[in-house]
Every structure is written in structure tokens, then in C-alpha cells.
Amino acid sequence: MEEKEKHILVGEVIPIEHGLISSPIDAPRRRTLQNFQKKIGVTFNSLELLNVALTHSSYSRYYDKVFDDNEKLEYMGDAVLELASSTYIFKKFPSLDEGELTKLRASVVCQSTLSKIAKRLKIGNIIQFDYGESSSGGATRESNLEDAFESVIGAIYLDCGWETARGFVFEQLAPEFKNLSDENIADELQKMVRKNLSDYKSTLQEILMKDNPNVRIEYVELSASGPPHLPTFEFAVKIDDKIMGKGVGNSKKSAEQVAAKKALQKLENQQKKSETED
């Protein structure tokens, strides 16, 4: 059996709070992190925590995981983002009911928005990737940008507290709501929901056909219920006769889109698991 190549790490890893370990930070990396915190208006007590937030799993795996990547901070940031964005929307649009608030949050606080914010902050330029991920477009991949942005939120929360994290989220989300008010939100919400439900099927098809042009993708209705004016449909998406995702919606199209989204998430999780096992 061929011996695995050993990758030599320059510098010492840095144990920090919350059970995390940062990769070594040389002088240029420290300047990069300092410049980034100035850009976002947050002063970290621990730049090492910010460094972990901007470390992709591929970089950690390259060095046999002797330090942490941003996946745990992403988990924390996702929870903080949900509460902070919910607070923002709740206060800004008092006329919306619970269901409408949920739809608005899902329509705005989604991968396309979060990756757009990350691009605005140029986060992709300072994430640590291994060569393979970097050379294949990792710095512009929406999933990487979304994860890193959420990780930064998690790092801000752990290092600086809730008020600072909430303020950061409010500031970054504000441009996404600049043309919305409590007076026009009802009409705009419908447009936003329709727009953000339009991508998952085409994205799934593009990804699958890239690897296998002959792949069979089929959307199957599993159930239909409710009164005629408010029906509920459940659909499954089958890939080569195997169910990869299920979705529920108030129309057949929306249920199909949710199923496609679930399939995309499942494929991404499978890819991450495969990379980890390698």
C-alpha cells in the first residue's frame, strides 16, 4: 500500500478558546486578518478565531486536520444569523403574520444573498483553501462563500457577544431590504418567493448532467391534499429511479423546487462525506 504523502506545516498551531485550534498565522496572514476586521468594523480579541472562520475544510484536511476549519463556527453562525435576521424582519415589517415572516426570511436569507454579501466583503479572497479547491474555483463557489460568511458571524458572536453579532448582521442585511417597506412588502414578497424558487431544478439538472449526460431525472407526485383554494402537494425527485429529495408546496412547481433543493443538499453532504473519508 502506497504511503500517504506527508504535508509539512510551517509554524505552530494555536490553541484558542471554545476548544478550537487555529492554523499558524504568519505576518502577512495577520495583516490580512487585521485589514478584514477593519473593513467589517469589528475588532476581534482573538484574530485566531477569525482565522479559523476563514479556513476551509480542504486546507485543514491537507494538513491532516491538526487544526480546525470553519465548519463548527458555521454551525454557530447559522443559529445566530437566524435569530438576528428574524429580529430584523420582525421589527421592520410589523404588518406581516408568522407565515409571511418565515417566507420573507427564507426568500432573502438564502445562499444567493449570503454569497453576494460575502462577495461584497471579498471574503473569498482570504479563505484558506488547499490547491485543489482553490484552483477549481473554490473562492467564488457560492456554498463556500455562504459557509464562510456564517462562520464569520459565529466567530463574532463567540468573540464579541450577541450585540456585536446582531449589529453586524443588521448592517449586512440592510441593503437587501432597502427598497422594501411595510406598505409594499405584501406584493414584493410574492415576487421574491417566485424568484427564489426558480433556480433549484435547473441547478440540479446542470450538476447531474455535467457528470452524466444520460442521467434520468424525474419528479413524481406523492400526494395532494387540502381544499381547492389552498392545496398542498408533495413531490419527490428521482435520480436514476432513486429518490433523492422530497418537497411540499402549495403548487406542484413549488413542491418540485423544494424537492430539488433537498436533493442538492443531499448531494453536497455526500460529497463532503466522501472528501472526509479520502
The active-site residue, picked from 68, 133, 147, 150, is: 150
Quote the CA–CA distance of 139 and 186 in Å, as a whole number: 36
DSSP string, 190-210: HHHHHHHTSSHHHHHHHHHHH
Quote the CA–CA distance of 49 and 19 in Å, as a whole number: 11
Q: Is 150 a catalytic residue?
A: yes
186 pairs with which residues across the strands? none
Provide CB contacts within 8 A for 33, sequence distance 6+: 25, 44, 47, 50, 51, 54, 126
Q: Is 5 a catalytic residue?
A: no
Residue 230, all three cell numbers: 389552498
Quote the CA–CA distance of 270 and 267 in Å, as a whole number: 5
Residue 104, all three cell numbers: 420573507
Expressed in percent and rounded to 5, the helix, strand and coil fractions of the chain are 60, 10, 30
The active-site residue, picked from 78, 82, 188, 199, is: 78
What are the residue numbers of the active site? 78, 150
